[in-house]
Structure formats: C-alpha cells, structure tokens
Amino acid sequence: MWWPLATSWMLMGLEFPLVTATVSRLVDPEIHLAAYGGVVFPLSLMIEAPVIMILVASTALCKDWLAYRLIRNFIVVLGSILTVIHIVVAFTPVYGIIVQDVLGVPDIIVEPARIGLQCMTPWTLSIAVRRFFQGVVIRAGQTRLIGLGTLVRLFVSSAVLLGGLAVSSFPGIVVATVAMSSGAMVEAGFILIFVRPILRNLKASPAHPSPLTLKQLGIFYWPLALTPLISLANLPILSAAISRMPHAIESLAVWPVLGGLSFVFRSGGLAMQEVVVSLYDRPHFDVPLKKFVAMISVCTSGMLFIIAATPLSTLWFEWGAALTPELTVLASSALWLMVIFPAMSPWESFFQGQFVHRGMTAFITQAVCLYLTGSSIFLLAGVRYGQVTGLYVGLAAMLTGLGIQLWWLWRNSRRFDDHTPSL
C-alpha cells in the first residue's frame, strides 16, 4: 500500500523543482521565483488548506454509500466557498491589503504575484475533488490509481512548462501557475473517471449499522481541517518575516527551490499517514510499522545529507535549478538546515495516523498550534535582531516548530493501548 502512495507524493514533489527550474530559465527569474515562492504558492495553499485533509476523512469514513454522498456534498460546498475566497483575494483590492500592507513583500514582486494568484483560481476546487476521491480509492485498496493520476498530472504540467520555455515570451510566474493549475485540473478529472467502478461497488455494499451524520463529520473533520490551515498560515508569516530581514529578494527566490528539493525526500514520510489509518486495525501491526517508519526516516535524510555534503548540491542548484552563482551559494549552505526535515516527516505522519484512526483529531490541531507558536516566536526574534539572512532564520524557525510539534504528538501518543477504540 505504501509504495503507490509514496510514488504519488514523490511525483508531486518533482513538479515543484520542475517549475522552479523552468522559471529560472525565463526572463527576470529572481523576481518571478520570489513572487511564486513568497506570495502565490503560500497564499494558494493557505486558501485551500481546509480541504487538504479530506483525503484522510474519506479514507476513514466512506464506509457506505450514504457516508460517501454526505462527504462528497460537504467537500463540493466547502471547495466552492474557498474558490470564491480565492477570487476575492486575487481579483479585488483585498490582494493589496494582504500582500502589501500585511505581508509587506518587496514592491517589485507585487504585480507578478497578483497575476500568478489569478492564474491559480481553479486550484482549490480541483484539489478538493482529487483528494476526496483519492481517499475513496485508498479505502478500496486501489492505490495504483493514485500513482497513475499523479503521473498524468506531472505529464500535463511538464508539457505546459516545456511550452512556456519554448515560447519564452510569457512571464515565468504565468508559466508556473498555469502549469500547476492545469495539472491539478487534469488529475482531478482522471481520478473522477477511474473511480466509477469503485463507486458502483460502494453503492451496492450494505449500509453501515451506524450511519454517518453531518454532526459526526463536523466533529471529526474540523479539527483536521484546522491542522493544515494553522500549519500553512506559517508560510505567509515566513514570507512577511523574510521580507523584513537581510537579503529578502534572494531568500524568497531560493525558498521555493529548497522547498521543492526537500519535498521530494519528504514524500515517502508524508505517505505514511494514510497507511497507518488503513492498516492500524490489524493485530500486531504496530511494531512492523514503527520499524518501517524508522527505516524511511533514516534513508530519506541520509540521501539528502549525501547531496548536501557533496558537489551534488552545487550541481543541482546551478545546473538543474539554473540559479545564479550567488543564489547557488546561498541555497547550498541553507540545505544543511533541511537535512533533518525528511527524518521528521514519517514520524509526524505515523503519530497523526494513530490519532486519526482513533478519531482523536484534536491532538493533531494542538500540535500544529504549538508548531506555529514556536516558529513564529523564532521568526519574531530573527526580525528584531535583523542581522541574519532571512532564509537561514526561516528554515531554523520551521525546524524549531516541527520539533515542538513532533514532541507533542509523541508525548500524547503514549497514552494509547490495545483497548483504545477506533472509528
């Protein structure tokens, strides 16, 4: 079960480096990378945040046709509301209030970022539909479809990126955001078509003895929905803090490049949550799961360490990502702060999967609140001190927050025993 999910996450992770590598080869790369990584992507993720965990909800709760219809209607309404919010932010003066007055990003990236955010309008609803049906697919054990869907998405976004590179007359921010939106829409359409046989089987299956109600769905889902919302709120905070520290443009330009590389190695760990939710009921499965998580943790961070410690980092940043020599030096030195990130992701997913399995999702929200608090305090100290490059402070703040979050999850997971009821 893990391999198809991990492959899907890894393919999604490859999309981000491809985007940044393409933008780096177009006109004014530093400006458009900063606009994409410092404004467009963080704001788009924050707006879509409430639908991110619908994959976990549909995996855990789509036990019969009635539950499926309830969750489907819920996510369509929620996704539509969030799309309206995205439109308001991208196409009205609200954008200026958020980006200029609140975030305080450099003026030179304000307008490119506005155009990019407008191009990302279909993103949220596409992600909502995709993740909901992916949960249905995972529950049916057909995880191969998820990898295929992500492969189709990567093909479409890569085609758009190559087209933009060939024409070279479009701004980098437009090429990047159109590629991301197109890939998300096509993947949602793919999973919607190929989930139909699973839905026919689900419709014919017997009703669950305890039907899911909207109230139960709300109690289960809203703490989960708050989790990525709170976590992703840190991205605009990071952008605002970095914009107020030394070397702001350079730091914002390198940020998405580092994030994309890190995401590739974190993908295996991120896939663990759905595996834990699906398999934790099996007898004596706890110990093998922990061993597997430990193996992923060591292997992924080990591979990133090898890149950071060898000329491979310079090779990627200068040739693959097409960064300038100055930005390559900055990215290579900052990569050392990211080496531990892949090791933390599998354990975060493992502990969160335990809480989701038992319906105790409030603990996940608490952990993310601690993450946001810890990283924000660190960022505030960095801004007040004002002598350290923003990129380094931002990465150290994230590492601090993730450490606190992981500690809280581990601390509360120790209360579990074999008699704790699950959903």
| CA dist., res. 162 & res. 19, Å (int) | 10
Find tokens 């105790």 and name the residue.
360
Percentage of the chain exceeding pLDDT 90: 70
What residues contact residue 20 under an 8 Å CB cut-off, 6+ apart?
A: 33, 36, 37, 176, 256, 257, 260, 321
| 187-227 pLDDT, tens digit each | 999 999 999 999 999 999 898 888 999 999 998 898 888 88
The number of angstroms, rounded, from the C-alpha of 59 to the middle of its chain's C-alpha atoms is: 18
Question: What is the structure's pLDDT at 417?
Answer: 56
> Does the pLDDT of residue 285 top 80, yes or no?
no
- Residue 38's pLDDT band, with cuts at 50, 70 and 90, is confident
Tokens of 171: 């701004």
- Residue 405's pLDDT band, with cuts at 50, 70 and 90, is very high
Find tokens 């709170």 and name the residue.
230
- Amino acid letter for position 171: P
| CA dist., res. 284 & res. 302, Å (int) | 29
Integer-rounded Cα radius of gyration of the chain:
21
Question: What is the structure's pLDDT at 419?
Answer: 41
- Residue extents of the structural domains in the chain: 2-413
- Other beta carbons within 10 angstroms of residue 376's beta carbon come to 17
Question: What is the structure's pLDDT at 1?
Answer: 62
| 326-373 pLDDT, tens digit each | 999 999 999 999 999 999 999 999 999 888 888 788 898 899 999 999
| 40-61 pLDDT, tens digit each | 998 999 999 999 889 889 988 9
- Greater model confidence, 317 or 234: 317
| 87-134 pLDDT, tens digit each | 999 999 999 999 999 989 899 999 999 999 999 999 999 999 999 999
Mean pLDDT value across the chain:
91
Tokens of 61: 């709760």
* 3-class DSSP state of 72: helix
| 245-280 pLDDT, tens digit each | 999 999 999 999 999 899 889 988 888 887 887 777
Q: What is the DSSP letter of 38?
A: I
* Element holding 323 (H helix, E strand): none
Question: What is the structure's pLDDT at 416?
Answer: 67
Cα–Cα distance list, 176 to 14, 36, 347, 373 (Å): 13, 8, 32, 31
Contact 11, 151 (CB under 8 A): yes
pTM value is 0.80
What is the full DSSP assignment across 113-139?
A: HHHHHHHTTTHHHHHHHHHHHHHHHHH
> Does the pLDDT of residue 374 top 50, yes or no?
yes
Phi-psi bin for 104: left (phi > 0), alpha (psi -120 to 50), beta?
A: left
- Amino acid letter for position 389: T
Give CA angle at 376 (372, 380), nearest 5°.
175
Directed axis angle between helix 234-242 and helix 390-413, to 10°? 150
Which of 48-57, 262-271, 288-297, 377-386 has the highest mean predicted lDDT (pLDDT)? 377-386
| CA dist., res. 238 & res. 240, Å (int) | 5
Tokens of 220: 């289960």
| 51-93 pLDDT, tens digit each | 988 988 998 899 899 999 999 999 999 999 999 999 999 999 9
| CA dist., res. 75 & res. 81, Å (int) | 10
Contact 349, 266 (CB under 8 A): no
| CA dist., res. 390 & res. 255, Å (int) | 10
